[in-house]
Amino acid sequence: MRKKDVIRLYNFSDGTLVTKGLEKVAYMQRDKPEFELYGITPQLVTDLKDSIIAFSERLTDVEALGNQTNVTANKDAKGEEVRNAIRDIMARVTLVYMFGTPKYKKFGTDELAHQSDSDLIITAKRVVRVATEMMPALTANGVTIGMLNALTILAEDFTNLIVDMKMQIGNRDIEQEDRVEAGNAIYTTLVSYTNTGQSIWETTDVAKFNDYVLYNTISGEEETPEPLAS
C-alpha cells in the first residue's frame, strides 16, 4: 500500500517553529515545579529542546535543491558534450553519405538537439555502433576509433550524471518528508506542553498563561483581522 503524503501540521515556517519552540521551552524550565505536577519532567523538556536544536541543524530544502540544481547543470553540460561529439562525427559522415540517404539515416541523429536524455544515450551508442560498422568508408574523412571511444566515454559519464541527478531528486524528496515528520513531532509535543502551561496558569496568572499561547498562523503570532470597511 502506498504511503500517504505527509502534511505539515503547522502554518508557520520551520524557523519560527525553532524560535517559538525554544521560547516555550525556556518558560517550561522556569515553571519546572508546576510542570512536574503534570508528569512533564525536566528530562522531557530537555528532550524537546534537543529535538528542536537537532531539527534546526537538518539539511534545509534550499540546500537540497541547490545540490539537485548543481548536479542537473553538470548533467546538462555533459549532454551538450555528447551532442557536440556526435555532431563532429556526423560532419565527417556527411562527406561520405549525403544527408537523407539510407546510410546517413541509419545513424538516427536528425532530432539530436531535441532528444531526451535517455534517447541521447541510445543515439550515442548507435552512432558508435554504426560508425564502427562503416569505418572502412569513413576513415578517409577523419572518423577514428579514438573519436568513437571518446564518445563512448562521454555517454557513460552522461549516464552516470543522470543517475546522480535522479538520486539527488530522490534524496531531496526523502529529506523533505523526514523534515516534515520531525517538525510535526515537535509541534505536536509543543502543543501538548503549552496546553498544559495554559491550564496551569489559566485562573492564577494571566501573563504566564499568555506565555504558553501558541498561534498556528503564518507568522506564529496572533493575527488581527482587518476592520470591515464602513
C-alpha cell at 150: 571518446
37, 27 Cβ separation under 8 angstroms: no
pLDDT digits (tens, 9 = 90+) for 141-189: 999 999 999 999 999 999 999 999 999 999 888 899 999 999 999 999 9
User: In which band, very low, low, confident or very high, does the pLDDT at 191 lie, cut at 50, 70 and 90?
Assistant: very high
pLDDT at res. 52: 97
pLDDT at res. 177: 92
214 HSE (CA, 13 A, CB side):
28
Distance CA 67, CA 62 (A): 9
pLDDT digits (tens, 9 = 90+) for 17-32: 999 999 999 999 999 9
Distance CA 177, CA 88 (A): 45
107, 90 Cβ separation under 8 angstroms: yes
42-56 and 14-30 helices, crossing angle to 10°: 160
pLDDT digits (tens, 9 = 90+) for 110-142: 899 999 999 999 999 999 999 999 999 999 999
Distance CA 51, CA 186 (A): 7
pLDDT digits (tens, 9 = 90+) for 53-91: 999 998 888 888 888 899 999 999 999 999 999 999 999
Helix or strand run (H / E) with residue 117: helix 117-133
SS3 33: helix
pLDDT at res. 6: 85
- Backbone phi, psi, residue 161, to 5°: -70, -35
Distance CA 39, CA 35 (A): 7
Distance CA 42, CA 48 (A): 10
